[in-house]
Amino acid sequence: MAHFEKRGATWRAQVSWYDDQGKRRFKTKQGFLTKSAARKWANEMEVAKDDNKISDQNPTFAQAYEEYTNTYKIPGKATTTQRRYNYSITIVKNYFGNVKLTKMNRQRYQSFLNDYGKNHAKTTVRLLNRYIKAFVHDCLSDKLITNNFTDRVNLTWNDSHSHKVQYLNYKEVQKLLESLESNIKPTYISRYMIITAIYTGMRIGEIMALKWTDIDFKKHLIKVTKSYSYLDGKIKEPKTESSKRVIRVSENLLDLLKQLKANHQKFVFMTQSGKIITTTAANQTLKKQLKKLNISKNHFHFHSLRHTHVALLLFKGVPLYAISKRLGHSSMSMTASVYAYMLDELRQQSDDQIEEVLNQI
């Protein structure tokens, strides 16, 4: 049963239970303005006891977040994703120090977002908030806390730290493809990888993991079922479950890829000596080609070819839903969020066309 005690102007509540080893445990909370408020909390704890969702521990926010992340989020994730989670642990530790999890509130968390946002881009702030929000949601389910301090917060960021999505226009793509295909041969594997990214929008890890058995030359299809982690050299599951997909491709691309069979390897983009081309090599080839064509783009790298693929499809009128499925995004809203800048440019062009049409009436 719960025990209640009035201490000064506020109430204190305590519940007890026996753990798996038969040891009696206590959980106490004070500062309730009324006895009914203390009783409400005690009733919630009694329900938690029945569901084995109660603990007498009172860890710091940083300790609890680190344990949660190492247990539920990091295992099985790609190396780059693991690095992002570890980075988030460092941020939480540095900012919140020894603040108890039960002492966290919306004002304290909002102050953190305001400070963090001063020197970080929108995507960085949103990702960190998403990680912490998931943690808090589970803490609520486990009855470790009673309030969602991430609810109804305002995300702030520094636009000067944000980079616009970089992509090539239609004419630039034509020039690049012409240059890449000029005197191409099976030893120039980086060129084939760049061409594949332009035609498919595949991530570089997905391209590196592609096997000949993943390509249906008769039906013009490529199956994306895995990804190559260039950081640890292992074949893994793709980024998300929705990343597993089948892409329709052109006969022109397939004819080019057939040339790589001369290397006699099970992986499409593997050298004759059995090595998979590194991302560094692919990016170097891309930069050399762009420089050769006098195409200057700040922050343009291999992943920008995925953005270029999206731009080509959007400006040719392909529906956003179809593009989202082709990219392997979990939802169309995610695609719209990632390519918001590009969609705004397209809308501006459409508005200009509409105005031109109306002026001709």
- pTM of the predicted model, to two decimals? 0.66
Rg, Å, the chain Cα set: 27
Q: What percent of the chain has pLDDT over 90?
A: 53
pLDDT at 196: 97
Report pLDDT digits (tens) over 216-260.
Answer: 999 999 999 999 887 777 888 876 788 899 999 999 999 999 999
Report pLDDT digits (tens) over 291-309.
Answer: 999 999 888 999 999 999 9
CATH of domain 61-161: 1.10.150.130
pLDDT at 306: 93
CATH of domain 170-351: 1.10.443.10
Mean pLDDT of the chain: 87
Q: What percent of the chain has pLDDT over 70?
A: 90
In the predicted model, is pLDDT for residue 31 greater than 60?
yes
pLDDT at 119: 93
Domain boundaries, the chain: 3-50, 61-161, 170-351
Distance CA 245, CA 279 (A): 23
Report pLDDT digits (tens) over 208-217.
Answer: 999 999 999 9
Report pLDDT digits (tens) over 53-88.
Answer: 665 567 899 999 999 999 999 887 777 788 899 999
pLDDT bracket for residue 341 (50, 70, 90): low
Alpha carbon 182 to chain centroid, angstroms: 36
In the predicted model, is pLDDT for residue 176 greater than 90?
yes
* Average pLDDT score over residue span 110-123: 93
